[in-house]
């Protein structure tokens, strides 16, 4: 029995990632992919951080709380992606 992980009643985020990966593989046109894990994590993390920072009105303490991260960890990640 396959267990479905549900976020807010659905798994829309997972489906979005799956669709993006299907498109990515289709565009490869037979080339062998490399570094997919790091590529996906970096893109998802950057989008997540940018969205939460926007929702928090740029308040890093509030954003860290929303994400369940230490504020210093958030600051490091924001610096990594050039997000203010």
* Residue with the larger pLDDT of the pair 66 and 11: 66
3-state helix, strand, coil in the chain (%, to 5): 65, 0, 30
Give 55-83 pLDDT, tens digit per residue.
999 999 999 999 999 999 999 999 999 99
The domain segmentation of the chain, as residue ranges, is 12-81
Residue 5 clears pLDDT 60, i.e. is over it: no
Give mean pLDDT, residues 26-48. Answer: 95
Structure-model confidence comparison of residues 3 and 42, the more confident one: 42
Please give the mean pLDDT across all residues of the chain. Answer: 91
Start-to-end CA distance of the chain, whole Å, equals: 44
Question: What fold characterizes domain 12-81?
Answer: Arc Repressor Mutant, subunit A (1.10.10)
74: CB partners within 8 A, 6+ apart: 49, 60, 63, 64, 67
Rg (CA), the chain: 16
Q: In 10 A of CB 40, how many CB atoms?
A: 14
CA dihedral sign, ordered 62, 65, 70, 76 = negative
């Amino acid at each position: 029995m396959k267990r479905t992980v549900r976020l807010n009643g659905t798994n829309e985020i997972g489906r979005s990632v799956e669709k993006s990966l299907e498109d990515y593989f289709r565009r490869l046109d037979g080339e062998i992919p490399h570094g997919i894990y790091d590529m996906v994590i970096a893109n998802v993390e950057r989008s997540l951080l940018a969205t939460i920072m926007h929702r928090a009105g740029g308040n890093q303490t509030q954003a860290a709380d929303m994400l369940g991260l230490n504020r210093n960890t958030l600051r490091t990640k924001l610096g990594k992606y050039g997000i203010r």
